[in-house]
Homo-oligomer: A and B are copies of this chain.
């Protein structure tokens, strides 16, 4: 492959002139500029990014540190959609994208900071990372700009941004959706308690209940840790003694488990029991019946995260947290009950 040296020699100039024309310096005569590009084309030259990266102390690559892409449930394509959004955005910028996928099964993972340092990564997007992850803490305490997803950063570090939908609001809307349709005997299938999203969704739920003069203690809360299987067995057990009118689930995956258990218990959805989800996975439009849920636009979330990271990197940061809009997808898993 042709190097900058080859181009310089053939064009009869020094390498610095070549470098300058490629980096849009103004002090290169239009004539030599043209000549250099002509020679470059002839030699099939294009600058080596690796060398460029090392030489200019500028950092030109961003990292996407993501858990959940590798070992997620096969029906769960969220992490993948985020990846798509990030990739699209970054590929249209002048940055490179490096991917670091965490396999939560495997213990031996590398420090995120080390990962970034080794690759001269100038900023990272974190997805599916738990706040109690030691490497997470290590990373956000460095000067490496970060954008975190589904975590509200409590850190004072100005280089941290975050992106998510308004989980509390979305959850409130969904609860209201059920309440408005006269559902009162509700079961809430929640996810991992400690997570930011779960806390937010609980908050929204409480607000909705409050509107109807109810409290959290007026509904049953089952903790299924965002797991389809756990939701399935909890529901199965629950239905042996009680019969609620609706299950409000904090994820579609859990809703799938609930639906399965409800059907196996001999109930019809939504005639006997209503079910709602959260996320809007591809699957959710094809369940029987199609699932009413909150749509999160993960591709958009990824895209926005990548934009925010660039903004932070270029110091033109305006806000710390960006809300991506969600949407209530009304399908056929919810029945309107007669007013009692």
Contacts and interface: CB of A to CB of B under 8 A. Distances in A.
Interface string A118-129: 111000000000
Contacts of A119: 49-50, 96
A247 interface: no
A70 interface: yes
A47 B101 contact: no
Contacts of A70: 84, 87-88
A49 B286 contact: no
Interface string A1-30: 100000000000000000000000000000
Interface in A189-207: none
A53 B53 CA distance: 11
A46 B114 contact: yes
Q: How extensive is the interface on chain A, given as a class?
A: 35 or more
A75 B117 contact: no
Interface in A12-64: 44, 46-51, 53-54
Contacts of A98: 96, 98
Contact of A1 (B50, B77, B117): B117
Interface in A93-116: 96-99, 101, 103, 114
Interface in A63-104: 69-70, 74-75, 77, 80, 84, 87-88, 91, 96-99, 101, 103
A283 interface: yes
A120 B91 CA distance: 18
Given A87-B99, A88-B70, A282-B74, A50 B48 contact: no
A288 interface: yes
Nearest to A120: B50
Given A50-B50, A77-B80, 16 more contacts: A48-B120, A49-B119, A49-B120, A50-B53, A50-B54, A50-B119, A50-B120, A74-B282, A75-B282, A77-B77, A80-B80, A96-B119, A98-B98, A283-B283, A286-B286, A288-B288
Interface of A: 1, 44, 46-51, 53-54, 69-70, 74-75, 77, 80, 84, 87-88, 91, 96-99, 101, 103, 114, 117-120, 282-283, 286, 288
16 contacts: A46-B117, A48-B120, A50-B120, A51-B54, A54-B54, A70-B88, A77-B77, A80-B80, A87-B99, A87-B101, A88-B103, A91-B101, A96-B98, A96-B119, A283-B283, A286-B286
